[in-house]
Amino acid sequence: MSALPDLETRLTDDHHDSLRLWLRLLSCSSLIELRIRKAMASRFKTTLPRFDLMAQLERAPDGLQMGELSRRMLVTGGNVTGIADQLERAGLIARNADPNDRRACRLTLTREGRRVFAQMAREHERWVADIFEGLSVRDKRTLNDLLSRLRVTLRKGEA
């Protein structure tokens, strides 16, 4: 069985090194995300967006408004609402009145939500460690340093 074609299969020797690098990063990111999505669905019968929303709430014990969740997750408010509705029905999050804004509510993890998220987070961390186990500690640090420098460069362009 042959490997599925990915973004890099379109490259030729004529392509610029920066294009090659961008496609390599995109390909690796897509493959990692696919592996995590499959593991999350198989192990916890949930989706990566649900895990991501719960992760945001875990970092904010006082809860977050929908708009803040939308900004943090880089998705539309409608996406956050749909995910929040599912998590609320499952008893993993609660909607609470926002003491600072009567028009808004804050989402928080329930006790069960914190328990479930802690279990998912432990597994998620193990999956990520397994994905990168083929790289030495030195290679991981080098790659992290290089990507950090790239992020700084990219952020300068946002200003």
CATH of the domain at 121: 1.10.10.10
**Would you say residue 8 lies in a domain?**
no
pLDDT tens-digit readout, 58-69: 999 999 999 999
Total domain count, the chain = 1
pLDDT tens-digit readout, 119-150: 999 999 999 999 999 999 999 999 999 999 99
pLDDT at 158: 77
**Would you say residue 53 lies in a domain?**
yes
**Would you say residue 64 lies in a domain?**
yes
Domain ranges, residue 102: 15-156
Show contacts of 137-143: CB within 8 Å, 24+ apart: none
Q: Torsion angle, CA of 60/66/72/74, rounded to 10 degrees?
A: 160
Q: Contact 9/27 with Cβ under 8 angstroms?
A: no
**Would you say residue 87 lies in a domain?**
yes
Q: How many CB atoms lie within 10 A of CB 109?
A: 24
Of 75, 66, 57, 72, nearest to 101 by C-alpha is: 66
**Would you say residue 109 lies in a domain?**
yes
Question: pTM of the entire structure?
Answer: 0.81
Q: Which residues are paired to 106 by β-bridges?
A: 65, 96
Q: Contact 108/57 with Cβ under 8 angstroms?
A: yes
**Would you say residue 112 lies in a domain?**
yes
**Would you say residue 7 lies in a domain?**
no
Kindly write down the DSSP assignment for every residue of 118-145, as one continuous string. Answer: HHHHHHHHHHHHHHTTTS-HHHHHHHHH
**Would you say residue 60 lies in a domain?**
yes
